[in-house]
């Protein structure tokens, strides 16, 4: 009904996949070069719960919509491969692979301001924030044999860093 606020809780399953590729070029004095790279793939399932809020602005065609959801991955494997191609120097080390189990928490927040064009059509703009906790491995890739765990500058980074995306979006909806 026009002017009524709707609060809609929901629950479901989330399937999450994340792929990360990092390539670095190091040039050393004397002409030696190192080209380490890291590839990471994650996939997992988890329970997702959330609440959607729809707020019309009186009898006007404008409305606000908010959506907040959390999902905890209950299972999931992160597979990583680190390889290094060396030129003009020591022998290139063999690629190193590791698989570990991570269970990140995801947070999704969307705020949307819209205009109802017709009963079955709306458009508007919004802002979205999405976070996946402890999913990325950002450790330095210069030493694949140790997964970047060398103390000091070569060991910079985290084995479980967050991935955050946010930004504006435009949306057009048409209900058939």
Whole-number Å distance between alpha carbons of 75 and 28: 42
Provide the pLDDT confidence category of residue 86 given band limits of 50, 70 and 90: low
Whole-number Å distance between alpha carbons of 132 and 165: 9
* pTM metric for this prediction: 0.76
* CB of 5 closer than 8 Å to CB of 54: yes
Whole-number Å distance between alpha carbons of 90 and 106: 42
Burial of 114 (0-12, 13-18, 19+ CB in 10 A): buried
Query: pLDDT of 119-174, one tens digit each?
Result: 999 999 999 999 999 898 776 654 444 444 443 444 566 778 899 999 999 999 99
Burial of 99 (0-12, 13-18, 19+ CB in 10 A): exposed
* CB of 50 closer than 8 Å to CB of 68: yes
* CB of 113 closer than 8 Å to CB of 126: yes
In this prediction, residues 3-13 reach a mean pLDDT of 92
Burial of 148 (0-12, 13-18, 19+ CB in 10 A): buried
Closest CA to 95 of 13, 17, 39: 39
């Amino acid at each position: 009904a026009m002017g009524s606020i709707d609060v809609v809780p929901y629950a479901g399953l989330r399937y999450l996949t994340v792929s990360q590729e990092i390539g670095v070029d190091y040039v050393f004095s004397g002409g030696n070069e190192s080209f380490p790279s890291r590839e990471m793939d994650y996939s997992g399932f988890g329970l997702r719960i959330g609440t959607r809020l729809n707020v019309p602005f009186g009898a006007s065609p404008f409305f606000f919509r908010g959506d907040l959801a959390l999902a905890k991955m209950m299972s999931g494997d992160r597979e990583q491969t680190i390889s290094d191609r060396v030129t003009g120097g020591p022998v290139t080390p063999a690629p190193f692979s590791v698989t570990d189990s991570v269970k990140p928490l995801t947070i999704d927040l969307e705020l949307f301001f819209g205009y109802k064009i017709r009963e079955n059509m709306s458009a508007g703009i919004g802002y979205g924030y999405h976070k996946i906790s402890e999913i990325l491995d950002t450790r330095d890739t210069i030493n694949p044999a140790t997964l970047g765990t060398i103390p000091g500058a070569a060991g910079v980074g985290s084995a479980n860093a967050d991935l955050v995306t946010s930004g504006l979006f435009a949306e057009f909806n048409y209900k058939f």
